[in-house]
Amino acid sequence: MHEPVFILKGNIIYSKNITEFEVCEHGYLVCRDGKVEGVYQTLPFRLGGNPVRDFGDCLIIPGLVDLHVHAPQYSYRGLGMDMELLDWLEVNTFPEEAKFEELDYAEKAYRIFADSMRKSATTRACIFATVHRPATILLMDLMEETGLDTFVGKVNMDRNCPEYIQEETQESADETVEWIKDVLHKKYANTRPILTPRFIPSCTDDLMEELKKIQIRYSLPLQSHLSENPSEIEWVKELCPWSEFYGDAYDRFGLFGADCPTVMAHCVYSDDREIARMKENGVFIAHCPESNMNVSSGIAPVRRFLEEGMHVGIGSDVAGGSTENLFRAMAHAVQSSKLRWRLQDNTLEALKAEEVFYMATKGGGEFFGQVGSFEPGYEFDAVVLDDSRLRHPQPLDLKSRLERMIYLADERDIRAKFVKGQEVRL
């Protein structure tokens, strides 16, 4: 067990709000019982005598939150990136995901994924597995070992995929219940199940009804994909002619926020009605900018989401995105927002470093509760960054140093990582 109270010393930086950083140079970040007690420029007398870890001139930031990532796709990162979404799923994704029926293969592949997540700056993640129950449980065992705090979902799909990976409707529902029972028995500290219908094209209405029953029975959250790519959206119109818009095809089944905490990845083409419904229902958006480029989806109107006060986080969407490194995802979010502004719609201003940092910490963190900030009472998720590898000819202020990390940092620059006050072995 960790000490009930311990203190990290360093250059503390986190989001004061969506447009400003809060900075405390050479300050003290106090953890009590897994939560943030406070950030102090000088250590209060009453806290003297508690252990202090001095990280010198390092930066200390809240842990990063990956709101959308596919564990089985880690093995084909960077491959076949010349295709559009639906072809990419057929050619790359389904054949690879089918291999996870074999536990030996799943163990090899998931160990590599779990190791990479452990070494990254990510402390929280919403993870897709595959349709396979045993391999999904294995992934959850491995994620629990990392010390990260995650939601993991067994994928459901009972239509429009190759028969070697497609489930029968009832089988899909039954396997989901068995999987939930199995993992609830395990009493993981940091790993929870999340319902994961892959997306509307791969789930029949009957399956969605079954999933709603399961959602109520076990009070589970849900993750899926929404309005990612034009060909996918056209397909949903054909499959669900009764839906007002794509998101409505989830909402009809009660699987779109409201009484079912929901993360939807992408939302590149969400129209006014879909945006209004997401806002009303409190749906979280996982913005996955690199994936949206790689499978030719487009650029999500993130500035609009922020102006509307919606819940927006960042997702790596491996293997649509090529890396689990969320610093890259933050940089991609800024870069793609600039192209959107220049080429598509100059009414939506490009994103700033403060905004993408907020999304990658507190924005996505909110899906996990009080996560993603160093405000008192927040869960103590912290990452210590050493930027000395990125040499510079003159001193930089803290904000500039963090901005540079957003563009340049990777796992080599991480000195320590804590989740809920527990140190993660890097």
- Residue 172's SS3 state is helix
SS3 call for 295:
coil
CA atoms 178, 180, 185, 186: torsion sign: positive
Per CB under 6 A, the list member of 13, 29, 65, 89 interacting with ligand GUN is 89
Distances (CA, A) of 321 to 212, 332, 364: 30, 10, 17
- Does position 355 bind Fe ion by CB under 5 A? no
Beta-bridged to residue 382, according to DSSP, are 62, 418
What is the footprint of ligand GUN within residues 228-267 (CB under 6 A)? 228
Toward Fe ion, which CB reaches closer, 85 or 384? 85
For residues 99 and 50, is the Cβ–Cβ distance under 8 A?
no
Q: Are 275 and 310 in contact (CB under 8 A)?
A: yes
How many residues sit close enough to ligand GUN to count as binding (CB under 6 A)?
A: 12
Q: How far is the CB of 74 from ligand GUN (least distance, A)?
A: 12
Binding segment toward ligand GUN, per CB under 6 A, in 85-93, 119-127, 347-355, 356-364? 85-93
Q: Which of 425, 354, 388 is nearest to 59 (CA)?
A: 388
Residue 340 Cβ, how far from Fe ion at the closest point, in Å?
20
The Cβ of residue 151 has, within 10 Å, a number of other Cβ atoms equal to 26
Q: Return the residues of window 250-309 that contact Fe ion according to CB under 5 A.
A: 265
* Residue 324 binds Fe ion (CB under 5 A): no
d(CA 34, CA 423): 10
Angstrom distance (rounded) from CA 241 to CA 2 = 55
Contact status: 317 vs Fe ion (CB under 5 A): yes
Among 74, 199, 250, 253, binds ligand GUN (CB under 6 A): 199
Contacts of 128 (CB under 8 A, 6+ apart): 68, 69, 70, 71, 72, 153, 155, 196, 198, 223
Give the CB-side neighbour count of residue 272, counting CA atoms within 13 A.
0
Nearest to Fe ion of 305, 418 (CB atom): 305
Closer of 333 and 385 to Fe ion (Cβ): 333
The alpha carbons of the chain give a radius of gyration, in whole angstroms, of 21
198 binds ligand GUN (CB under 6 A): yes
Smallest separation, CB 291 to ligand GUN (Å)? 5
Residue 93 interacts, among ligand GUN, Fe ion, none and using kind-specific CB cut-offs from 5 to 8 Å, with ligand GUN
3-state secondary structure (DSSP) of residue 220: coil
- List, in sequence order, every residue forming a beta bridge with 313; answer none if it has no partner: 286
Residue (176 or 297) nearer to ligand GUN, CB = 297
Out of 225, 277, 362, 401, point to the residue binding ligand GUN (CB under 6 A).
Answer: 225
Partner interacting with residue 228 (select from Fe ion, ligand GUN, none; CB below 5-8 Å by kind): ligand GUN
> Residues 352 to 391: which contact ligand GUN by CB under 6 A?
none
Residue 296: CB minimum distance to ligand GUN, A: 11
Task: Give the Cα separation of 47 and 2 in Å (integer).
Answer: 17
In this complex, which beta carbon is closest to ligand GUN, that of residue 118 or of residue 198? 198
Count of residues in contact with Fe ion, rule CB under 5 A: 2
The least distance separating ligand GUN from the CB of residue 96, rounded to whole angstroms, comes to: 10
| Contacting residue, 123, 176, 215, 291, with ligand GUN by CB under 6 A | 291
Query: Is residue 96 a contact residue for Fe ion (CB under 5 A)?
Result: no
Where along the sequence are the contacts to ligand GUN (CB under 6 A)? 70, 85, 89, 93, 198-199, 225, 228, 291, 295, 317, 320
